[in-house]
Structure formats: C-alpha cells, structure tokens
Amino acid sequence: MVHNVHAIYSDENAVSGLSDFRDTLFAEWKILFHDYGFPYLVLAVMSVLAILVGFTHGFVDGVFGIAKTMFGLLVLLSLIMLMKQLYLLMFKTKSESPSRDLLSYILKTISDPVRMAKLIHLMFLFSAMAWSFSVLKSSIAFINPFSWDLLFKDLDKALHFGRLPHEWLGWVTSSPVALFLIGALYNIWFFLLFLSLYIFHTRFSGTRIGLQYINTFYLSWLVIGFFMATAFSSAGPAFFENLGLGTDYSSLMTDLNSANENLPVWALDAQKLLWDGHTGVIDMRLGISAFPSMHVAIACVMAFGASAVSRFWGIVTWVFAAIIMIGSVSLGWHYAVDGYASLLAVAVLWFVSGKLSDLRWSRRQPS
C-alpha cells in the first residue's frame, strides 16, 4: 500500500515536472517570438517567395527539405556546443574529468526549458532561412539570366587602375600554399557563421545588440542574397569563359588548376558542381550568383557584431572579412565589386537594424 502511494506521488511529480517544463518552454518561446518579430517577418517573406518561385520553376525540394535542414543544423549546433564546453572544461576550469562534466552539461542543457527554447528558436529561424534561400538562389538565373558580368568586369578594371583585381593578387594566385590556406578559411566561414549566430542567439539574447545582429543577419539573406542578386544577376569570373564572354579570367583559372596539382583548391570542385547543375549535366540545381558576395556580406555582419561587443574580436573579424574578400577574388568566385557592394549594403542594413532594435527596445522598457 505504501509502495503504491509512493508510485502515485512519483507519477504525479513527473507529470507536474513535464508540465512545468512545457509551460516554461512555451513562455520563453513567446518572449523570443515577441522580441524577434522582425526576423520572423523577414523569414515569412522569404518562405512565401521560395514557395511561389520554387513551384513556378520547379525548384522546391519537397516537404522534407526543411526537415533535412533542421536535422543537419541540430547536429551542427550540438557539435558547436559540445566543442565550446569541452574547451572550457579542459583549458579554463581545468576539470579533473572533462568527459563526466561534459555529460553533466548535456543533461543540464536538455533539462533547461529556457535554454532549449533558445536553441529551438535558433534552429527554426535558420532552417527556414536556409531552405528558403537555397530555393531562391537556385531560381535567380532563371528569373533574370546573367547579364551583368561584362559591366562588373569593366568596373573592376576601372576601379583598379586598368588591371583586373586578380592580377594585383598574383602573390596569392601563384602560390599553392596561399590558395590552400585562403581556401581553408573560406570554408571555415560556414562554421563561423553558425558559431556567431549561436553566440548572438544565446549569450546576447534579450539585448539590443543581439537583436540588431539577428535582424541584420536574416535581412542580409533576403535583401543582398536574393533581391540584389536577382536585380544584378551575374555568374562570376569562374564562369566568365563558359558564358562565352571572353578569356579575361583564363589566366586566373589556369593558376588555380596549376595550384590544385600540388595542394587541393576546393573551389574548383564546387565551381564544376555548380556549373554542371546549372547546365543540366547533373540533376542538382544549387544556383550560381556572384553579385553581391554573401561570403563577404556575412563576414561583414560578423565583424560589425563583434566590433560592437569586443574591440579585440572586432579587429579579428575585420581581418577575417578582408581575407574572405581577397579569397572571393583569388578563388574566382567574385568580382571585387561584389565584395565592395556587400560591405556597403551590410553597413546600411546594420544601421537600419540598429534603428529597428532601438524602436523595439524602447517599447520593451517600462515607462
């Protein structure tokens, strides 16, 4: 009889605990949705455009597209969290048993409804953006075929004293080691994108700078990555000769292929994959778009955000943005004007997002 009473109490406590967890989770989600209403609006616009454009051009990756993206993001976020915590345990707190303390951290995170709400919020926003953007980018060249490459090439020459930018970067393009290192940093960009987003979604959640960063980040994908890219549709130097526009970049591509014989130039494989998808050689439409550069744009978003919270990390991220700018040109992805336009566009969006954040935060503060 006593055993049955204890079992009933135990069941009631478990149900009550789950109920409290659920209530706290949804309460925190409601606060996040209220604070980050603008990013949700941006993503609603992106999603509607992706559905309309995707069905029109046949690029929608089915109903499981976003589910696959969310699963991949969950795995990546989990790895980022675990790597960060393991670093803190091993080198900061000098844990005697990092594996045991890491397991304790995992269990604590899973059982914390506030932290889980922030992670779900981050996953939902980014997954919706990633899926929508992949559909929209795949459609750009079909909505507005490439028509700006020649002008951008001429602008590059005019801005760089009669020479194409990659010709000034011979010290990079002629060095397999330099190309390998820049290519590695160019690929690390993806990891740093997730890491910075995770930091501003969690550590700076509920702050004005956190909101400004998130607003700028998601607005960049819509305004720079789709609207500007569609209006100024271009393929980029790597595809210049493929489009029958001339051999102005043949020396650059020759240098990249020569370097690839010594050390891997991953950009070449990616460029071949994109072109094969664009021309129908393979059934994979990933989309080609040069202007503006989203690599440079998001690197600048990271730099603006880091500069707002730390002078040291601000300097580091601006150096990283400069390297990404050099890499975008030396690897054949972009014209230099692609990066310049991205920097200017992000500066405008950062300013606008700051004003929106000020307006939102002034309404949040008690009168």
- pLDDT digits over 143-185, tens only? 999 999 999 999 999 999 999 999 999 999 999 999 999 999 9
Q: How many CB atoms lie within 10 A of CB 219?
A: 23
Predicted confidence at residue 80, as pLDDT, reads 67
Predicted confidence at residue 97, as pLDDT, reads 74
Predicted confidence at residue 4, as pLDDT, reads 52
Rounded to 10 deg, the angle between the 176-202 and 208-222 helix axes is: 130
Mean pLDDT for the chain? Answer: 83
Taking the chain, what is the end-to-end CA distance rounded to the nearest angstrom?
57
Instruction: Say yes or no to pLDDT of 266 above 90.
Output: yes
The better pLDDT of the pair 264, 92 is held by 264
Distance in angstroms (rounded) separating the CA atoms of residues 83 and 77: 10
Helix count (H) and strand count (E) of the chain?
16, 0
Q: Please report which residue ranges of 58-175 form alpha helices under DSSP H.
A: 65-87, 98-110, 113-143, 149-159, 165-168, 170-173
Contacts of 81 (CB under 8 A, 6+ apart): 109, 198
The better pLDDT of the pair 13, 106 is held by 106
Q: What average pLDDT does range 317-342 have in this prediction?
A: 97
Distance in angstroms (rounded) separating the CA atoms of residues 95 and 87: 10
Predicted confidence at residue 15, as pLDDT, reads 46
Percent of the chain surpassing pLDDT 70: 77
**Residue 145 region by backbone torsions, left for phi larger than 0, else alpha for psi between -120 and 50, else beta:** beta
Instruction: Say yes or no to pLDDT of 8 above 60.
Output: no
Distance in angstroms (rounded) separating the CA atoms of residues 54 and 45: 14
Instruction: Say yes or no to pLDDT of 12 above 50.
Output: no
| Pick from 68-77, 167-176, 228-237, 353-362: least confident | 68-77
Digit-coded pLDDT (tens) for 192-250:
998 898 888 878 877 889 999 999 999 999 999 999 999 999 999 999 999 999 999 99
| Pick from 248-257, 276-285, 351-360: least confident | 276-285
Summarize the chain as % helix, strand, coil (round to 5).
80, 0, 20
B/e letters for 175-197, b = 16+ CB within 10 Å, e = fewer, are bbebbbebbebbeebeebbbbbb
Predicted confidence at residue 168, as pLDDT, reads 95
Our measurement of the distance from residue 130's CA atom to the centroid of its chain's CA atoms, rounded to an integer in Å, reads: 8
Predicted confidence at residue 287, as pLDDT, reads 83
Instruction: Say yes or no to pLDDT of 11 above 60.
Output: no
B/e letters for 286-317, b = 16+ CB within 10 Å, e = fewer, are ebbbbbbbbbbbbbbbbbbbbbbbeeebbeeb
Q: Half-sphere exposure (CA, 13 Å, Cβ side) for 164?
A: 21
Q: What average pLDDT does range 6-33 have in this prediction?
A: 56
Digit-coded pLDDT (tens) for 279-296:
878 776 778 999 999 999
| Residue 157, CA distances (Å) to 154, 322, 335 in order | 5, 20, 10
The better pLDDT of the pair 344, 101 is held by 344
The domain segmentation of the chain, as residue ranges, is 1-143, 145-367
Instruction: Say yes or no to pLDDT of 16 above 60.
Output: no
| Pick from 62-71, 117-126, 128-137, 155-164: least confident | 62-71
| Pick from 123-137, 174-188, 343-357: least confident | 123-137
